[in-house]
Structure 1
Amino acid sequence: MRLKTEVKMSRISELSSEAGRSRAAEGTGQADLAPDTRLYVPAHPRYHADPEQAPGVGFEFLARPQTGEPVPVAFTTLDALVAALGESQPWIAMPAEAFVELMRRNGLARVAVDPAVAPGTEPYWTPENIRAYTEAVRR
């Protein structure tokens, strides 16, 4: 089975207003990241109601606190992703250059790398949410 890539916003949390703890990467010439840097990206499989359609990958974005604007995010280590979004957060790994280019093609020019998440934000994905998602997909 082939997975197709699609960008579907899921608001999983909000970025912290503490900008100093995140780095923004633009284009493929990020000062902080080599193009082949492995990034851990919050994402999950997306299944369509029509079984003839191939499953896809739904990327999950954070939201800017002031505007609610979607922000693609990625983490340089799996530990950083888990610390920010919780142990149950689904993810995929991909090269920085591919992730940034995919987001750019979908109209999102900036990517937050290793962002700070707003304090007190509860993770969206919990073991219960994973079970519910799995049961819904099986139907």
Structure 2
Amino acid sequence: MWEPGQMTSAQMQDEWFEVHGWAATPPTDVVAQWRATAAAETAHSANDGVVAPPAPADVSTEIGVGLPDALVVPAHPHVDGSAGFGVELIEIDGTQVVVGYTSVDKLVAQLGSSQPWVAMTASDIAATHATRPIVVDPAPGIVHVNWSDERLAALRKVLTDG
């Protein structure tokens, strides 16, 4: 059973495709493992018991306060046949966080034009990643470039040929 600190379903998929190539079709047992991990992640995030450190007295802890109406979030479609997309989380000091940019131009400036992304509202992010902090417009060097033109082309091929 999946536990925090282990690879996420999206990380498992990325690793598998890095080894086998985006054009390869994963075996059904591997896809089943990804789905089971994704389900365990969802169950965990719904009630993981994480206690956030107390906020300073002058900062509101209300979800969405101080966030723009929408953020551009690094993400990519699921390639295991499930609907939707996987938000690409990063790890800072052992904590997985959601990264959002206030414009497509800012995302592209840091991650390149090959980075897949989605626009999400603060409430959408809270609904799917309520237990994770959100870093808006991170300083350069915090988020690493993971996508190239070749990797994006391979993903397109998997999605259209799959």
- For the aligned pair, the TM-score class normalised by the smaller chain equals 0.5 to 0.7
> What is the DSSP-based 3-state SS (H/G/I as helix, E as strand, rest coil) of the residue aligned with 1:43?
strand
Q: Is the 8 A contact 1:47 1:56 kept in 2?
A: no
| Residue from 76, 98, 121 that aligns with 1:72 | 98
CA RMSD of aligned residues (A): 2.9
2:116 aligned residue: 90
CA distance 1:99–1:8, change in 2 (3 Å)? farther
Structure 1 26/127 Cα, relative in aligned 2: closer, same or farther at 3 Å? Answer: farther
Higher relative contact order (CA 8 A, sep 6+): 1
Once the two structures are superposed, residues 96-139 of structure 1 have per-residue CA deviations (whole angstroms, 9 ceiling, x without a partner) of 222133211xx32x1111112427x7521110001122223324
The aligned counterpart of 1:3 is none
Gaps of 5+ in 2: 1-7, 15-59
Q: Deviations over 1:18-77 (max 9, x none)?
A: xxxxxxx965242x225xx1211111111325xxxx42211101221x43x321111111
Q: Number of paired residues?
A: 108
Contact 1:42 1:74 in 2 (8 A): yes
Tell me which residue corresponds to 2:67.
Answer: 33
Partner of 1:87, secondary structure, is coil
- Greater Cα radius of gyration, structure 1 or 2: 2
CA contact (8 A) 2:64 2:122 kept: no
Native 8 Å contact 1:61 1:71 kept in 2: yes
Identity across matched positions, percent = 32
| Correspondence for 1:126 | 148
Q: Tell me the TM-score normalised to structure 1 length.
A: 0.63
SS in 1 for 2:139: coil
Runs of 4+ in 1 over 4 A off after TM superposition: 7-10
> What TM-score comes out, normalization by structure 2 length?
0.55
Structure having the higher helix fraction is 2
Aligned counterpart in structure 2 of residue 46 of structure 1, from 63, 69, 78: 78
Corresponding residue of 2:135: 112
Cα distance in structure 2, aligned partners of 1:26 and 1:8? 29
Rounded Cα–Cα distance in structure 2 between residues aligned with 1:116 and 1:79: 14
Could you tell me which amino acid in structure 2 is paired with residue 46 of structure 1? H
1:122 to 1:47, Cα distance in 2 relative to 1, 3 A: closer
